[in-house]
Amino acid sequence: MTAPSPVKLLQIGAFPPEVQAQIDAEFRCVSVADLEQDPALAREVRGIVTRSNQDVPAALVERLPGLEIIATNGVGYDLIPLGLAAQRNIVVTNTPDVLNAAVAELCVGTLLALLRRLPQADRFVREGRWADAAFPLSTSLAGKHVGIVGLGRIGKDIARRLEPFGVVLAYHGRSDQHLAWRYEPDLATLARDVDVLIVVAPGGAETAHLIDARVLAALGPEGYLVNVARGSLVDQAALLAALEQGTIAGAALDVFDREPDIDPRFFTLDNVMLTPHLGSATRETRAAMAQLMLDNLRSWFRSGRALTPVVAG
Select from 116-124, 142-150, 183-191, 274-282 the region that touches ligand 8YV (CB under 6 A): 274-282
Q: Tell me which of 23, 30, 74, 249 binds ligand 8YV, using CB under 6 A.
A: 74
Q: Which residue is nearest to ligand 8YV (CB)?
A: 74
99 binding ligand 8YV? (CB under 6 A)? yes
Question: Are 263 and 257 within 8 A, CB to CB?
Answer: yes
Which of 51, 117, 172, 277 is catalytic? The answer is 277
CB of 295 to ligand 8YV, least distance (A): 16
Nearest approach in angstroms of CB 255 to ligand 8YV is 7
Tell me if 207 contacts ligand 8YV by CB under 6 A.
no
Amino acid identity at 107:
C
Task: Tell me how many residues contact ligand 8YV (CB under 6 A).
Answer: 11
Q: Can you tell me which of 277, 290, 311, 313 binds ligand 8YV, judged by CB under 6 A?
A: 277
CA distance 87 to 275: 37
| Shortest spacing between CB 101 and ligand 8YV, in angstroms | 12
Q: In sequence order, what are the residues at sequence separation of 6 or more whose Cβ sits closer than 8 angstroms to the Cβ of residue 36?
A: none
Residue span binding ligand 8YV (CB under 6 A) among the ranges 16-24, 48-56, 127-135, 258-266: 48-56
Only one of the segments 121-129, 184-192, 231-239, 273-281 lies at the binding site for ligand 8YV (rule: CB under 6 A); that segment is 273-281
Cβ proximity to ligand 8YV, 103 vs 273, nearer residue: 103
Q: How far is Cα 289 from Cα 93, in angstroms, rounded to an integer?
A: 11
Binding segment toward ligand 8YV, per CB under 6 A, in 74-82, 105-113, 158-166, 190-198: 74-82
By CB under 6 A, residue 173 contacts ligand 8YV: no
Examine the residue annotation and report whether 259 is marked as an active-site residue of this protein.
Answer: yes
Among 47, 250, 279, 313, binds ligand 8YV (CB under 6 A): 279
* Whether 149 contacts 207, CB under 8 Å: no
Residue 234 sits at φ, ψ, to 5 deg, of -115, 135
CB of 204 to ligand 8YV, least distance (A): 11
Of 49-57, 118-126, 151-159, 176-184: span binding ligand 8YV (CB under 6 A): 49-57
**Of residues 49 and 196, the one with the C-beta less far from ligand 8YV:** 49
> Per CB under 6 A, does 76 bind ligand 8YV?
yes
Per DSSP bridges, beta strands 224-227 and 145-149 are unpaired
Identify the active-site residue in 244, 259, 284, 305. 259
Q: Is 277 a catalytic residue?
A: yes
73 binds ligand 8YV (CB under 6 A): yes
Q: Are 40 and 19 in contact (CB under 8 A)?
A: no
- Contacts to ligand 8YV by CB under 6 A: 51-53, 73-76, 99, 277, 279-280
* Catalytic residue numbers, as ranges: 230, 259, 277
